[in-house]
Structure 1
Amino acid sequence: MTRASRWAHLRRRRLWTEIALVLGVSLGASAVYSIVQIVQRLTAETPLSGQTATINGSLSDRPVFDLVYQLLAIGFDLVPVALALYLLAISGGSPFRRLGFDLRRPWSDLGRGWLLVAVIGVPGILLYVVGRQLGFTVTVVPSPLDTYWWTVPVLILAALRAALQEEVIVVGYLFTRLRQLGWGEWRIILASAVLRGSYHLYQGIGPFFGNVVMGVVFGWCYRRWGRVMPLVVAHWIIDIVSFVGYPLALQLFPGLFG
């Protein structure tokens, strides 16, 4: 083996190790837990249609500590995002410019973000409704049952956390590293999409496929636009609607989502 080939082999091994570590402290770990959860759900006596999955649940029965825990959880969940950006910076250049994670094109990013909301958000809601009716999606409880003055702001921050985690790590960071490993574009898009679907498996089979489709669309858009910011905008809006608007819709139309 020549020196050049040894160096290339070492570089590939380091990149795979880095990817494994970044995903291991973030959404890769979530994917493993979700796979275990869906196996547990499918082997339980209660069918999927009779089970629930709580998102953004209360972390304490004392409001002030619930708020503190919620903010701490959001803050620490963003550390892997900072880590991914830091590792990209070490390899050279600004990671913000490399990923298109900046404010250079605000109106274009907003317009494209809203376009993705229309393409992905509305069909996603319909898919959830159909999944509930067919019995392969659990009942998703997207926000705490107890409402305080800070509930909506915290839910908006939680939506931003999810958008940053998923789009910066699963799209921006992962696409960059897999390209450096020589993967083809569609192979990268499909791998990223399957990862996105896998950490949503705790919600049922329907959300897995829905998020895989979302991952394919978002990955294709990132490949075409070269910017992660429209994806962050779209994901943030979709999750705000899910976290804040969904509970309101349940109150106004209790039978709408089955």
Structure 2
Amino acid sequence: MVTDEAAAGAVVGRRVLTKEIWLVLALSLGASGVAALISFTGVLTSSKPISGQTAVIVGSRAPGRPWLDLAWQLFAIVTALVPVALVAHFMARGGESLRTIGFDLRDRLRDLGRGTAVAACIGGAGLGFYLLAYASGANLSVDPAQLPDNWWRIPVLVLVAAQNAVLEEVIVLGYLNRRLDQLGWSLRRTTITSSLLRGSYHLYQGLGGFAGNVIMGAIFCYLYRRWGRVMPLVVAHTLIDVAALVGATYLIGKVGWLPH
């Protein structure tokens, strides 16, 4: 028999978890989703067509001042990962850790192999999807990187790729799926929520960026459930972003098939 005290404790537990989720998202990718929506509203209300506008992912933070620019880039990378530390703190208070969602190096060789395979499949499909969306007029021209030609440009782009991967996969994939499971959400509802959240903070790229990332989110949710580990998807996401950021640096403006 469930006592009144146990029932009250369960309600409090659900309320605490719900508030925790909102707090984490408000300090990270939930806020990014709102910012992307505002940005896309500006795109839609501009006199230029969607495909005539450009979304820059990594740009200079102090043009003409390379050392200051580098300091700002590193500051942005480190502070963007604070919500991951917050998630680790919340999980530790509940007797869990990031290892609970498979964010560790216990199975690094298998994680690397799986992540590389996923990156090869999704990366190529994602590029094709982007080109189709841009050609249809539903997407902005995405310029992944506009950094000055300094010695630190490529290392910073690799760090940005890794930071994006850790932030998104730990929070949107591992943490959010686990917390929504604990709240009793169905697998379908959780997958839809996680995927839509992933799409929301890519909306600044256009409807193509939104739709493509919703699809990617659903695939990543399936693979996370199958493998029980977030690390292969962190590897995949890092490799996809490295290819996009570094590749664009050398290819945009030099090949005719990439919009610029």
* Partner in structure 2 of residue 223 of structure 1: 225
- Cα offset, 1:3, TM superposition: 1.9
Relative distance call for 1:145 and 1:158 in structure 2 (3 A) is: closer
CA contact (8 A) 1:101 1:228 kept: yes
* Partner in structure 1 of residue 19 of structure 2: 17
CA contact (8 A) 2:91 2:98 kept: no
* Partner in structure 1 of residue 158 of structure 2: 156
**In structure 1, how many angstroms separate the alpha carbons of the residues matched to 2:247 and 2:213?**
20
CA contact (8 A) 1:109 1:229 kept: yes
**How far does the alpha carbon of each residue in 1:43-92 deviate from its partner, in whole angstroms, 9 at most, with x for none?**
22111001111111100021000000000010000110111111111100
Tell me the secondary structure at the aligned position of residue 54 of structure 1.
Answer: strand
- Cα offset, 1:13, TM superposition: 0.8
Structure 2 alignment gaps of length 5 or more: none
| TM-score, normalised via structure 1 length | 0.96
| TM-score, normalised via structure 2 length | 0.96
CA contact (8 A) 2:147 2:153 kept: no
Tell me the secondary structure at the aligned position of residue 252 of structure 2.
Answer: helix
* Partner in structure 2 of residue 199 of structure 1: 201
* Partner in structure 2 of residue 132 of structure 1: 134
**How far does the alpha carbon of each residue in 1:107-166 deviate from its partner, in whole angstroms, 9 at most, with x for none?**
110111012112211110001111111111101111124211100000000001100010
Letter of the structure 1 residue corresponding to residue 148 of structure 2: D
**In structure 2, how many angstroms separate the alpha carbons of the residues matched to 1:188 and 1:178?**
6
Count, aligned residues: 256
Q: Out of 169, 172, 188, which is 1:170 matched to?
A: 172
- Cα offset, 1:251, TM superposition: 4.2
* Partner in structure 2 of residue 71 of structure 1: 74
Q: Out of 4, 7, 10, which is 1:8 matched to?
A: 10
CA contact (8 A) 1:132 1:257 kept: no
Structure 1 alignment gaps of length 5 or more: none
**In structure 1, how many angstroms separate the alpha carbons of the residues matched to 2:74 and 2:47?**
36
- Cα offset, 1:217, TM superposition: 0.3
**In structure 1, how many angstroms separate the alpha carbons of the residues matched to 2:100 and 2:204?**
33
CA contact (8 A) 2:104 2:231 kept: yes
RMSD: 1.2
Letter of the structure 2 residue corresponding to residue 101 of structure 1: F
- Identity between Structure 1 and Structure 2 (%): 48
* Partner in structure 2 of residue 256 of structure 1: 257
Tell me the secondary structure at the aligned position of residue 150 of structure 2.
Answer: coil
**In structure 1, how many angstroms separate the alpha carbons of the residues matched to 2:136 and 2:250?**
24
**In structure 2, how many angstroms separate the alpha carbons of the residues matched to 1:66 and 1:243?**
17
Return 224-233 or 143-152, whichever deviates more: 143-152
